[in-house]
Structure 1
Amino acid sequence: MLCIETYWKDAQVCRCPVCNHAFERRPDLKVNTFISELASNVLSLKAKDFDTWSAHSLQASPGAGVLCGICTDTPQEAIKSCVECQTSYCDVHLAPHHLAPGLKKHTLIEPVASLEGRICEEHNKLLMWFCRDDSALLCDVCSSSRHKEHSVVPVERAYDEKKNLLEHTEGKVQRMIQERLQNVVKVKESVKLSKTETEKVTASGQKTVEQEAGGVISESLKNSVSQLRTTLNKMNTDIQKLCDRSDVSNKATLRYMQQYEVNVLLDPDTAHPLLMISDDLKQVRYSMRSGWLANQISNPSMFTEHLAVLGNRSFSSRKFYFEVYVGQKTEWCLGMAAASVQRRGSLSRDSRSGLWAMWFLENKFETFNSPDELVHFGKVERIGVFVDYDRGQISFWDTEAATLIYSFTECFFTEELYPYFNPLLRIFSFCATLHADSSISP
């Protein structure tokens, strides 16, 4: 603004440097507060991004996909990595480290990929600490020597702190986007109304001028319409940029959760008698086998009224993730169940049920414990379920669109959790994909 004011100060005619329009009198310049505030918030968010280390690589699941560095024929899965050798070993090639006196002193850790990138170049020890003062990764020697007066925390804790900060910042940005979108809707309505009125005035003025002055059109009216269109187009562009940034953030979050993917099979002993489990224990469907009901009702682990089945493994700590492919099925319920969930008789749809699940019916999502309360809308084919047991969080994602459907937060888990699947009373099949390589069709 200072630049153009200086330019007009010495000019004989005030002319716009963009459209070259000449003003009869010098216009009053104003700051576009919406765009200015939006730019400031985005720049502030960028300044808080991670810049010194990759949190995802540090938090990778131990042993996930790490192969023995010594095997020559078919590489076997590594069971340990040696800090001094900077190599991962299978159970066969690890034997010398247990037998040779010189190798017994080596430091063995859970198998990790790219071990050389996690070793201190100065002391040849594993980088296990993070200095908050210098924003640097440290080994045991670094943390106890020149960084001993600094604020030093384990890498895992530093990662959680930065992740929480990023989630908090992303939440603020999402709220800001919603507020701006609401304001833009109001602006669009105002612009639309102004445009309609302007077109009426323009048409009326054009008719009058054409009759009186040979069809000369008012330049001021044409310029007003042009300026309104330019402003609206710029707002649409800015909003699209914010939406694109949100999509990138969601995809990164989903990729982080998929690091904790586990392979869970269905437990036939818990299945309702009218459910059919596939031979590979990865698919379940409804089957009208009423004659079989009487022979199976005595099993104490099965569900007797809810058409449900549980996964074959439980979880009581840390993080884990699995995916379920529901295809075109129009009704289903899935999530997590407490070990003490009611198996016999009816299951009440309230907070005492011991279920943290999503209920889907004809494009509408609601939680099992809050019927008739819409939390999401639309069709999905593959659901990702992420559980952070220690933080009391269960999240449901549309993996195809990388969109969060709903999250249970601030839950207080006191017992083991099991994956829960319910195809409900529809004739279409419902198949549970419990690891990424499976495929399902209704």
Structure 2
Amino acid sequence: MSAASCLLTEDQFLCSICLDVFTDPVTSPCGHNFCNKCITGHWDVNVQCQCPICKRRYNTRPELHVNTFISEMAAQFRQSVQQKTSSSSSEQQAAKPGEVPCDVCTGTKLKALKSCLVCLVSYCETHLEPHLTVSGLKRHQLIDPVENLEGRVCTNHDKLLELFCKTDQMCVCTLCTYSDHKAHDVVPLKEEYEGKKAELKETEAEIQQMIQKRRLKLQEIKRSVELSKERADRETAEGVQVFTALKESVERGQAEFIRTIKEKQRTTEKQAEDFIKELEQEISELKKRSSEVEQLSVSEDHLHLIQSFSSLNTAPPTKDWTEVSVSSPSHEGTVVRAVIQLEQTLSKQTKNIFETELKRVQQYAVDVLLDPDIVHPKPTQSNPRQKVNERYVCRCVLSKQGFTSGIFYFEVQVSRWSTWTLGVTTESNVKGRITLSPKNGFWTVCLKRRGWYFAPAEPSVLLPLKSQPEKVGVFVDYEEGLVSFHDVDTAALIYSFTGCSFTDKLHPFFSPCLNDGVAIHTRDIECQIT
């Protein structure tokens, strides 16, 4: 029996109705064999009995008899297939998560080798064999294993999705072109596949360009951190040298000085680490998307490519890194503020430190030109008939240029005026009645009559200066929120506004008020600011 079965081809053991190995095979009067259940069910749904193979018709349903020979041969063939399946299953790998399993396997699902677009079933290597040997099954279209095969069939007409409707941007079957998509722009699935594949190549190139830009930005940020650290190290070394010279009396100040600088550096490094982490995350996501696009680009599965195109054609959400940078923190003023706290015990050392600090901030000196178009000539009067005493007219003027970031320093010769106000503000604040205070956008120091110096803070601070300044230097660190005033001749610190929050453009501001009857012109002020 075993030798006889070897003389028969495998398709001779398959029922032409269910395409599976015979179960209870019976023979029709015309000599063709079928499963008893298959031929009985076929004749139950047809009015006239007819052979599914030769189409011979019978007026009455023929009496069917079991074909013993075919039954034995089919049983032996089934046993042989099961043994072969068992042997192959031990060699093949079970489907892992994310892999397409065989739809025919019972128990442990093996990894599918191919999917059939006609049967809408995925097969492992063993269960795929009939499609490779049986003549009727060889004509079926096989593709790499995919999930959701039902999604490749038109739900309206139960036919394969073989066309693409450009009008409605969806896959359709041939019957759809005669109904809902009649007169639409319909092309073969392969043609649309080629077009989408070309677009995916462009998308991949764009993603690679985005990755390159972010790599360059990554290097820029890392370099910024290195420069910031070098600057912090220099500041720390200089500060340590100063505090070491002051010995035990400045140990607490030295520790605070180092802590402040390191805290700023840690903040800078933390900001950079966040940027780096975010950039690396975006690069990882873009690489992942690039890999997906690359895999999709080489896919020969037309429908899968088209259905996945919309989700992979665009790059994942990313940040615009063009203007992103890591600002190096400013340490100017740190030594000065630390030493000021020790002024009572370190008065002999203070002057030297102030001179050093002044030289440091003077490195950021800018040329300031006053704008004659931004002048507040006199107070706003609610009653136009009210007489204004010119002796008490308060004039003020701003610089032409403004600053929205960074560090800058300028000096003003104030000795020619008996009263004055000097500092920085925003252009929008110099309108109508002026009330000096940080809350209203003014960071200034003032000289009142009788030699009273004060800072219009909240509340105002009286400044007991030891000498009358002739030239005042103004230092501003926008990011640090610092505005400090220096007596240029004595190198003494007059006052500092700290912890400021700047959001608008800052302009150097000057007002020789009250003018004591002296005619003040913009050209007179301009030459005093350098």
Q: Same fold (TM over 0.5)?
A: no
Q: TM-score range by the shorter chain?
A: 0.3 to 0.5
Q: Name whichever structure is richer in helix by fraction.
A: 2
